Amino acid sequence: MIPNFSQAEENYIKNIYHLQQSTGFVTTNELSAALNTKPASVTDMLKKLKLKKLLNYEPYKEFQLNALGKKVALGIVRKHRLWEYFLVEKLQFGWDEVHEVAEELEHISSKKLIEQLDSFLNYPRFDPHGDPIPDSNGKMSVQQQLLLTELPLNRFSEVTSVGSQSTELLELLKHKNISIGTRLEVKRKFSFDQSTELELENKVRVNISEQLASVLFVKEL
């Protein structure tokens, strides 16, 4: 069984994980900047994580999480994103307010807690920022969700989720003939009001407001 790790250890693991997503390797300075700690402190912790067999690390070299380290990291990411989803969906937090709180909640250790939470939330696949939530085996959807506001022009895409369940929003979406699964392309953006012209699957064009575009998640096809 995987042992428990301290909050500090978990923060290092999680940050290494995120940093190594780009190039596969991380440097002491990068990590120290991400964690807001001095490089000397980072070195200390790297030795400890190596000792605990989570990290490939040799002095003065770049480092990376090994298989076990990545597994642990995915568990933390899972908790973080599930809690974010919970805060937004159930406790009426805004997307922008959840990160800090989730930073604390992600360190709660109960395995049962997180499995029951996942089930209670109905196994969401993406957090409120569109990032994929690893399942209990660490698997997650590869494709990141984008906000419609971030989608470039003329890319085929599909609506994957909406950032709120309010009846007002659902009413509007019904009117515009948009629902989960609707395929669309962004054809134009009007800078005056940031409104967006979409082309739906049936070639119909609709114009949607910035407020609406900013609560629609899509994935590119």
Residues of this chain that interact with its own copies (CB under 8 A) are 87, 90-93, 97, 100-101, 104-105, 108-110, 112-113, 116-117, 120
Decide if 72 contacts 37 (C-beta within 8 A). no
The span of 26-34, 96-104, 118-126, 197-205 binding DNA (CB under 7 A) equals 26-34
Residue 23 interacts with DNA (CB under 7 A): yes or no:
no
Residue 108 interacting partner from its own copies, DNA, none (CB closer than 5 to 8 Å by kind): its own copies
Residue 39 interacts with DNA (CB under 7 A): yes or no:
yes
- Residues within window 61-120 making contact with DNA, judged by CB under 7 A: 61-62
Instruction: Compare residues 89 and 210 and give the one whose CB is closer to its own copies.
Output: 89
Cβ within 8 Å of residue 24, ≥6 positions away: 64
Q: How far is the CB of 221 from its own copies (least distance, A)?
A: 36
Q: Which of 13, 19, 42, 148 binds DNA (CB under 7 A)?
A: 42
Question: What CA–CA distances, in Å, run from 108 to 48, 80, 114, 167, 205?
Answer: 21, 10, 9, 34, 48
φ, ψ (nearest 5 deg) of residue 204: -65, 140
What is the Cα–Cα distance from 145 to 105, expressed in whole angstroms?
23
Question: What CA–CA distances, in Å, run from 96 to 93, 144, 181?
Answer: 8, 18, 26
